[in-house]
Structure 1
């Protein structure tokens, strides 16, 4: 058997081990050195393949698939600078705790450090972000090191005691090949026959299961019978339904209200005392009852008002993360923490019922939430098309829709959703805030769409620079269409980096546009059309519902569709300022009689142009 056949047979073994670890999707980038692994992928039954000419885009698609499926996904590249393009997605997978498998082909050791073409120290490129970097031997020089690869893949699913892995995350598998790399047709058929014969005689090799770390010996210093409050950050686990059920158990026992991040997976759940308006409510928290204990779940939200309140709160603060032992406390206020997840905490609950004091605290927060929701509806129902209005109006439209996956891009979209969206029904709203970059946004959304069922809608809400930064993501349209997935992109085109208008930068001594917002003269609908993506432009608020429905239909037909929403960054920011100032003034006014009677009951009808849909039976 010549070297090309050995390379292919070795590559088949590698994909087999990857599949045994739960890898069902492989994202393949072109390259000669990676040829044996690419061909082996086509010969691996049950592996769903996606292809991309752009390694950075490919890695972000894989990351979206990881978030959408909850399983590890492999991305394959050739040698050299191709590996460097994996770093942005790798750093997001690291801080986001996502098991991304980075499979890279390399030149053999004798070509390193001697000026050989397309050769670099690529095994070092991703070291700062990965749980393991595995340098595999040259095919044919040793038996295939399956146990070594299995151990690395187990580290990707962490955390566990073995090897100090504190959280799930990316793994880099670097495989060098010597030439010849490519088999003839006859050789390929011979390798296939040999591989099938080996599989018929092989004894299955189970993937080792590394035990999780033992739960903390001491229980959390929380008094379940006393008033408290839960701050739920972005959900980073892999079983949202179970997480929601554990939250119901916790609230049922304690009565504590839940300040829920837009990506917590908890907003819109009618059977939980969710407070979604905390970003506005906490500008002046004097009307809010203050707890003596706060349970923080996962990382913090981007709200600076929530962060400031937590930093100043004279309360015991306990943090619980989902299978993540790392420190997530930039405020320096955590008194006790655990990385074993909400399920482990709920298992320690003592029996009992919520105290009257706890329920009074819950009613106080719910009453303010109810007042804020009514006030925002009144303020925004006659608004022109602005960024705050779009967050509010899209969330109202979603209340009428079946379960939908929504990706909120970083920068302004996630912040406006946190402040102004008023979601009344549960949807899978997510974000990628590990390093909070704007790169890879469209590809992340495409991966989420591919992971969803063909009947489920996926919506991306993005700013113009974030979308332009990943314009190669439009190339996923054909593959989305081929697999029956659909993605509706809602583009908030505010003429550049509108987030900078929210910072105290503009002073007239320099060009804000040149140095910060950097508006681009790109016709975004034309760019989408060049990739076969249909688009429409929103000109008036009353067109939004019809535009979203039409865009969803176009996405189902073409794989992708664009809804272009032009706004003006400075006017949008002025509206944010008016809304914040207006709420402070309204909140400072004496309570009306009706306000004091609701006591957190949100069943009273709220007037807005997007009436809440009925929730299907059994929906979580």
Structure 2
């Protein structure tokens, strides 16, 4: 048996459990792992030199494939560079298998090169840390390696899904002799788990039956989630029967629902206290992860419901609206299908619910009408470009929204019900700008759909190593909103009025994407005149075999004025 046979068989085990995508970072200490995965016939491997970027690429792959992606790196500070992606995976509930190579334990803290304390390095941001044996010649060690990797993969799949960390110490020599062929054992043990279907219990059903008729102002609020046709269909049926408003940010992937309240962030920021009081729910039902809209959060914290039911299959419960009274450990689709099965009768209480729904519909129509009347503006600024891009997206594509103003612009504008073929992604687990581009690269490398990223300049240049690799991305399109700084610090209350704002908050920078595009072989489209927009969009959305970046350089003050004008126009709509 080869000296590293148990390590080689990790790749075979991953393959048998359906893990087919691995992101590898260069290094010597990880050589046994690298060779195991690179030479496996059923695993697609790609190499990225920047571990920080590599982690987010793997995150994007895992999101796209809906299965854990594998990340392998060498020992030392290389492992630390995976931390931002691991944290995002933890909070976004994305499964990753992180395997870090390490020195033998006796060499830790002995001034040996590329050696740090790697045990528990990711802290609470992984579901579990696993340490492999550092000797592989004993049968018990071989059994332990197989058991640990089986358990780690199974755990990453369990709800809530997330990253796991396996640390693998290796003694030198790290490379096999030239004459040694790497092969995989035919008898690799696979430990499969049968996932729960998270159905409602009899006790939960009784509670729903007994209490459902008590409330007549019911509101549903969704958080971020993957596109889920089963859930969308269940919600559409539920709404048709019960006329209960469903509020969803752009990242909820619920835009195919005809009557979805898409623009709550816009109208709740401008509506009067009297209007908001009429929108207050008696019962709030929530599901999904984070909500973008600060206005929605503030509204629900102030106008609290009498009861708040939260739906999630498993895991720690977050309470961002500070009102949860009951948690139902089931899937949202199962929950709403059951409520749809309950009988309804024409009554005064049902009419109250219909009236409550009409109030939300009125505000949604007001916001939509304001948006449609607001554009076009005389000056081309970021908000109108995002509006134009969202209204011209390919029918079936992935829309990626980087953090800070990009995702907020996207949420103010939203997607239409007719755009049901579009799936929306954003790194809202930690809401950091690091890795937004690399995540899109992971998606683009693992699917054939158009992948369109809308990003600001700080997020874009911070993550420029997303392009530092050797793989073609003909389906990648990037809209770069380059205001030469962090425009969000001019938009939010506080930093914009400070004398230190430009240097220490907005962080002025002079870069454009032109040289980067030349460096990495990307077509650069410069939007410097509004009259060019139509032709540039046609070129931008032509998929002719190469990635493209559409860059708008704009003035921060103009962006702020137009953004503020939209909010002011919304506010004035209440005076008519």
Answer whether TM exceeds 0.5 for this pair: yes
Query: Secondary structure at the residue paired with 2:265?
Result: helix
- What is aligned with 2:409? 416
- For residues 375 and 413 of structure 1, what CA distance do their matches in structure 2 show? 20
Query: Secondary structure at the residue paired with 1:397?
Result: coil
The answer to whether the aligner puts 1:256 opposite 2:248 as a matched pair is no
- For residues 516 and 71 of structure 1, what CA distance do their matches in structure 2 show? 38
The answer to whether the aligner puts 1:512 opposite 2:494 as a matched pair is no
- What is aligned with 2:371? 376
Q: 1:209 aligns with which of 166, 175, 194?
A: 194
Alignment of 1:367-446 (within 5 A): 367-398=362-393, 401-424=394-417, 425-426=419-420, 427-446=422-441
- What is aligned with 2:173? 180
Contact conserved, 1:225 with 1:254, CA < 8 A, in 2?
no
The answer to whether the aligner puts 1:284 opposite 2:271 as a matched pair is yes
Contact conserved, 1:222 with 1:293, CA < 8 A, in 2?
no
Contact conserved, 2:21 with 2:45, CA < 8 A, in 1?
yes
- For residues 533 and 78 of structure 1, what CA distance do their matches in structure 2 show? 30
The answer to whether the aligner puts 1:479 opposite 2:468 as a matched pair is no
- What is aligned with 2:219? 229
- For residues 404 and 85 of structure 1, what CA distance do their matches in structure 2 show? 30
Are the structure 2 counterparts of residues 276 and 35 from structure 1 closer, same or farther at C-alpha, using a change threshold of 3 Å?
same
Query: Secondary structure at the residue paired with 1:394?
Result: helix
Alignment of 1:521-600 (within 5 A): 521-553=510-542, 556-558=544-546, 560-589=547-576
The answer to whether the aligner puts 1:6 opposite 2:3 as a matched pair is yes
Q: What is the CA-CA distance between 1:523 and the residue it aligns to?
A: 2.7
Contact conserved, 2:290 with 2:429, CA < 8 A, in 1?
no
- For residues 440 and 300 of structure 1, what CA distance do their matches in structure 2 show? 18
- What is aligned with 1:599? none
Contact conserved, 1:462 with 1:491, CA < 8 A, in 2?
yes
The answer to whether the aligner puts 1:462 opposite 2:449 as a matched pair is no
Contact conserved, 1:273 with 1:362, CA < 8 A, in 2?
no
Query: Secondary structure at the residue paired with 2:23?
Result: strand
Normalising by structure 2, we get a TM-score of 0.91
Q: What is the CA-CA distance between 1:86 and the residue it aligns to?
A: 0.7
The answer to whether the aligner puts 1:240 opposite 2:228 as a matched pair is yes
- For residues 312 and 505 of structure 1, what CA distance do their matches in structure 2 show? 22
Gaps in structure 1 of 5+ consecutive residues: 160-166, 590-620
- For residues 148 and 193 of structure 2, what CA distance do their matches in structure 1 show? 11
- What is aligned with 2:285? 295
Provide Cα deviations, 1:319-367, integer angstroms capped at 9, x if missing partner. Answer: 4344342222133122222343203312532433584433333333223
Are the structure 2 counterparts of residues 213 and 295 from structure 1 closer, same or farther at C-alpha, using a change threshold of 3 Å?
closer
Q: What is the CA-CA distance between 1:33 and the residue it aligns to?
A: 0.8
Query: Secondary structure at the residue paired with 2:194?
Result: coil
Gaps in structure 2 of 5+ consecutive residues: none
Normalising by structure 1, we get a TM-score of 0.85
Query: Secondary structure at the residue paired with 1:500?
Result: helix
Provide Cα deviations, 1:420-440, integer angstroms capped at 9, x if missing partner. Answer: 345342211121111110001
The answer to whether the aligner puts 1:494 opposite 2:483 as a matched pair is yes
- What is aligned with 1:600? none
The answer to whether the aligner puts 1:352 opposite 2:343 as a matched pair is yes
- For residues 464 and 257 of structure 1, what CA distance do their matches in structure 2 show? 36
Query: Secondary structure at the residue paired with 1:124?
Result: coil
Are the structure 2 counterparts of residues 502 and 16 from structure 1 closer, same or farther at C-alpha, using a change threshold of 3 Å?
same
Q: What is the CA-CA distance between 1:509 and the residue it aligns to?
A: 5.7
CA-based RMSD: 2.3
- For residues 570 and 324 of structure 1, what CA distance do their matches in structure 2 show? 46
Query: Secondary structure at the residue paired with 1:460?
Result: strand
Contact conserved, 2:309 with 2:328, CA < 8 A, in 1?
yes
- For residues 536 and 251 of structure 2, what CA distance do their matches in structure 1 show? 25
The answer to whether the aligner puts 1:56 opposite 2:55 as a matched pair is no
- For residues 154 and 514 of structure 1, what CA distance do their matches in structure 2 show? 48
Deviates more, 1:88-97 or 1:383-392: 383-392
Alignment of 1:62-141 (within 5 A): 62-138=58-134, 139-141=136-138
Contact conserved, 1:20 with 1:207, CA < 8 A, in 2?
no
Query: Secondary structure at the residue paired with 1:226?
Result: coil
